[in-house]
Amino acid sequence: MDPGEADGRNATPLLYDGGHFAAAVVLERFVGLAIELPEEIVNFVVGRLRTHPGYHRSEALALAGPGGTGVRAGDTGKGHRMQQQRLGNTGLKVSRLCLGTMTFGYQTAREDSFAILDRAAEAGINFIDTADVYPISADLSTVGHSEEIVGHWLAGKRGDFILATKAGGKTGPKPWDRGASAKHLLEAVDASLRRLKTDYVDLYQLHYDDPLTPLDETLAALDQIVRSGRARYIGVSNFLAYRLALALGRAQARSWTRIICVQPRYNLLFRQMERELFPLASEEGLGVIPYNPLAGGLLTGKHRPDTPPAAGRFTIGITAKTYQERYWHDREFRTVDSLHRLAEEAGLSLTTLSVAWVLANPVVTSVIIGASHAAQLDATVAALSVQLDQAVKAQLDELTLEYRLGDATR
């Protein structure tokens, strides 16, 4: 069958289009069939497509190489192009990097937060993640400030971004001001929409699993939120694999809105989710949007075990103790030293290498990156340009293999 006829087009334009459309058709068909193309074919097709002004199929190309690396699309402001990828099995496309906003309004002032958002937008990031409890400080006085900052910044450009928020954390003094009960979620989503100055979010997520609330009650409330138009999709964060599997099954049995993605902690120093959660996500076609790719900053290499941590995740707010318990250990510092040597051999900063490693996992849709200053985004955005050598990837996997073990809940 003629390629043009197969796609409902006349074949003649292919000759006048320099073969660009034909190249796109061929590549997308092979990618869609999960057939790995030889590197020389991918390079040839990508080279042809990247010269075409109308080309926009980066999400298909991103799948062509191992771990989605080796193909670039979407301008990052550094001469590269931001990759876009479908979120799970949905038709929603998001940038391969997502901007996290947990520091906004506490560690990061409003003006600096705006500068970070501006820099992210310039880099081609169209995916923003926040939460009703952000920023997490020592008390409830800052609850919602991150959403308010994002809402003000989005004024006049809401339609240009995919907006995600989360609920379930403690937002007030009353016993029902937390968790995943129907009462709390239905009140929480309305409060988030007010702060974000919008009538809907693209993705509404459970921030934590709530074992005290029946899953059916939670899922029915989330279904109501979607059907009412207040959210387009739903997801979960910090869920164990078996609880997510149970939620998927209950939603299917009751014909409720399906969970489309999961947001886990994941980095070179925390790989436990590879054992069960990631295989489940892959089999169920869920998007995976990991947070904490730099282990709270430890994977930047700026911290030393014999020096008190500078202002940041390890010192500020009620999360400081959590981050120190997770990462501030001799074993982790020894690993960081070894990783730093590998990064130098690869000609990369440890920050860039760490984010590139997360992006190289084929189950990962988009990596949530954060910053307290706009300039910090440069090293993380640079990861999009890295074609992670398979030998280097294997070394990183082997060096951090022990971090796949453990039973942390999040």
User: CB under 8 Å to 315, separation ≥6 — which residues?
Assistant: 309
Which neighbouring-strand residues pair with 84? 95
SS3 sequence of 29-95: HHHHCCCCCCHHHHHHHHHHHHCCCCCCCHHHHCCCCHHHCCCCCCECCCCCECCEEECCCCCCEEE
For residue 106, indicate whether it is catalytic: no
Catalytic one of 16, 55, 106, 134? 134
**Count of Cβ atoms closer than 10 Å to residue 243 Cβ:** 16
Contact of 46 with 80, CB cutoff 8 Å? no
Strands 287-288 and 367-369: unpaired
How far CA 319 is from CA of 212, 296, 332, 367, in Å, comes to: 23, 10, 18, 21
How far CA 200 is from CA of 1, 39, 81, 151, 192, in Å, comes to: 45, 42, 29, 12, 9
| DSSP 8-state assignment for residue 296 | G
- Find the distance separating the first CA and the last CA of the chain, reported in whole Å: 51
Q: How many helices (H) and strands (E) does the chain have?
A: 16, 10
How far CA 331 is from CA of 180, 264, 336, 402, in Å, comes to: 36, 22, 9, 10
Contact of 318 with 292, CB cutoff 8 Å? no
Amino acid letter at 180?
A: A
H helix or E strand, kind and range, residue 113: helix 110-122
Distance CA 72, CA 62 (A): 7
For the chain, the C-alpha Rg in angstroms (whole number) is: 22
Residues involved in catalysis: 134
